[in-house]
Structure 1
């Protein structure tokens, strides 16, 4: 039971670091505007499908989960 607060603090710190990297790193890695992200506009309707961004985030999360499962 004592591990739950430690895990919550760790998860919170990781989310803060990811948020800071996303905020300031967006200039260098434009997630959401990569080649392979589709934007369809017709009239007053817009459909956005971030395919390449989803693939990159999926690969990064898969590697992180694999590394943490090895511990």
Structure 2
């Protein structure tokens, strides 16, 4: 009887682990898609203003983190 309980507990843990792994994979896929879209957009030059805005934001963040850059 105790073997069955342990088995069910293990199944529950496995289910939680699988859910966490799936969530992580989905997040990674979304990040990769966003990066690819930004790269393609900047390469095509169709949204040069958007790419410039992203670069400006990135530069601002970098300069804020490193005061020596000024």
Scaled to the shorter chain, the TM-score interval is 0.3 to 0.5
Q: Which one has the bigger strand percentage? A: 1
| Greater fraction of residues in helix | 2
Q: Which has the higher contact order (CA 8 A, sep 6+)?
A: 1
Report which of the two structures shows the higher radius of gyration computed on alpha carbons: 2
